[in-house]
Chains A and B, each alone.
Chain A
């Protein structure tokens, strides 16, 4: 597993009260790949991440990460396989400080007794400081997460993802609420992570997707509409029709 596993979705269908949020969706992400997923509102991008992380069970289809059948595992087990997630609406623990949020995310034994006996080692502190610098929140380390601005919350959740050190990062709309400069920083960060890790980024911001400069998957009404380099996808008449042409 250390070399990284590939993510394999095949024929995934999810319905909510008869409405097909995902319709026979298939997608493969190779180890170390950086993949952007775009698509109009309601295309099923977030639902796809829900299926991969065990939040939503598909009605039919296959979802595998390496040898593991993701449809049979719960969120905890899937997270421990090395799949980390940043939510579209940044979600963290508001009553805890920025530092404590990162500490909880830090890769370490997850058991109850381990948590009772946990001592912050120098190494762990260094790693947290490193990530604090990376996400630009060093000054806010002792502040409660609840008082951060939207953009800072985005950064904190990205930081939590980095602390988890997963093999596959699922990043849902990371640059919403960020300045142009921050957006560039995020793109550079994700490019740097990819290679050692696999990354799937959902984003509406086409500038950002261009800055990532890798393969793009376009979702529409729950299935893949088009896939390829951004230049090619942009030329695709079907894509222009439903998404870019508006």
Chain B
């Protein structure tokens, strides 16, 4: 028996290595001289970079759902909050290069008649501060929501509904102009990040590699968590929460820990995503986004980490391909995908591979 399990383990490692090697190809092939047959377009780099951010989001959902059984249908909110934190920094970087040429206020504030920067915009001109907020704000929100829910032993579908309501409420709030986050237009027309103009090839490659590194690091952190006794406790909580209490563990603390960690990972993904796509608006909070991200994880195979990454790439590849000629079909296909996975592939893509491996 141990032979088979270590074989499976090696198969998984091999898969991880393969994914990361493949992910290095787009920026490398993009650097080839124009006209070279193997050269890939800027578009491919931008899209793959976006998918890497989605893969980090999927990983964060797998940690909470696949291991601890916390099915959050609001992780899109943590992603969006991280994105807004980065967006605020990018807006501050514009300086007096906006349409109105105001030295401090972003265009939308001038337009809305703001006289000075709201207090909660202070500090975002500093990159490290903005990055810190991209982690801390989602983490704090998850801490609050999680604390309220977990200590009252709210689980299962009720928890899912609460998280879904959370992202919906945030979407409505961010749509309002007087929130000070640009209303329904959100933030866009970014100029540069860390002194590098965003529309240059080197910025694109840099952002891509940053996302690549973040995926690698978040995967390593997640793997460390799930392979520790902490990870085995998460599985125990997922399968028999009450039994864990009778062993003397504080279940609320364990769930809170993993939920906050997961929200911070989602926030990081959002922060990396915004400079890559050049825009953030309240649409990122829409409940559908969170549900779609859960489908990625279910499709790839939950509770395996690598499955979440695989799911994010494959479902988004399908989406990009399909929406290029039949955008109206996407929601139908997504729904069908979810049904197929639930009925025929309870362990997702990774379950198929494992069956082969064994």
Contacts and interface: CB of A to CB of B under 8 A. Distances in A.
A111 interface: yes
Given A96-B232, A116-B228, A74 B239 contact: no
A110 B228 contact: no
B233 interface: yes
A76 B230 contact: no
B223 interface: no
Interface stretch (B25-33, B104-112, B248-256): B248-256
How large, as a class, is the contact surface on chain B?
A: 20 to 34
A94 B240 CA distance: 9
A68 to B, nearest CB: 14
B291 to A, nearest CB: 26
Given A93-B236, A142-B1, A53 B246 contact: yes
A92 B248 contact: no
A118 B225 CA distance: 11
Nearest to B5: A142
A137 interface: no
A90 B2 CA distance: 27
B176 interface: no
Contacts of B338: none
Interface string A107-145: 000111001111000000000000000000000001000
A96 B1 CA distance: 15
Interface in B51-99: none
A74 B257 contact: no
B243 interface: yes
A78 to B, nearest CB: 8
Interface stretch (A98-106, A180-188, A197-205, A234-242): A98-106
Given A104-B229, A112-B253, A93 B246 contact: no
A109 B250 CA distance: 11
A93 B235 contact: yes
Given A75-B245, A142-B1, A92 B250 contact: no
Contact of A160 (B232, B242, B247): B247
A79 B240 contact: no
Nearest to B247: A105
B233 to A, nearest CB: 6
B235 to A, nearest CB: 5
Interface residues on A, range: 20 to 34
B303 to A, nearest CB: 9
A117 B243 CA distance: 22
A164 to B, nearest CB: 7
Given A91-B240, A93-B236, A115-B233, A76 B254 contact: no
Contacts of A116: 225, 228-230
A206 interface: no
Nearest to B255: A112
A15 interface: no
B2 A142 contact: yes
Contacts of B245: 74-76, 79
Given A76-B249, A115-B228, A93 B240 contact: yes
A111 B242 CA distance: 17
B250 A110 contact: yes
A111 B249 CA distance: 7
Given A96-B236, A104-B236, A116-B225, A80 B248 contact: yes
Given A112-B230, A115-B228, A76 B250 contact: yes
Contact of B229 (A87, A93, A103, A164): A103
Given A76-B251, A87-B243, A112-B230, 18 more contacts: A79-B246, A79-B247, A80-B248, A84-B246, A92-B240, A94-B239, A95-B238, A96-B236, A100-B232, A103-B232, A104-B229, A104-B244, A115-B229, A116-B225, A116-B228, A118-B229, A118-B230, A160-B247
Interface of A: 53, 55, 74-76, 79-80, 84-85, 87, 91-96, 100, 103-105, 110-112, 115-118, 142, 160, 164
27 contacts: A74-B245, A75-B242, A76-B248, A79-B247, A80-B248, A84-B246, A85-B246, A87-B243, A91-B243, A93-B236, A93-B239, A93-B243, A94-B239, A95-B239, A110-B248, A111-B253, A112-B230, A115-B228, A115-B229, A115-B230, A115-B233, A115-B254, A116-B228, A116-B229, A160-B247, A164-B247, A164-B248
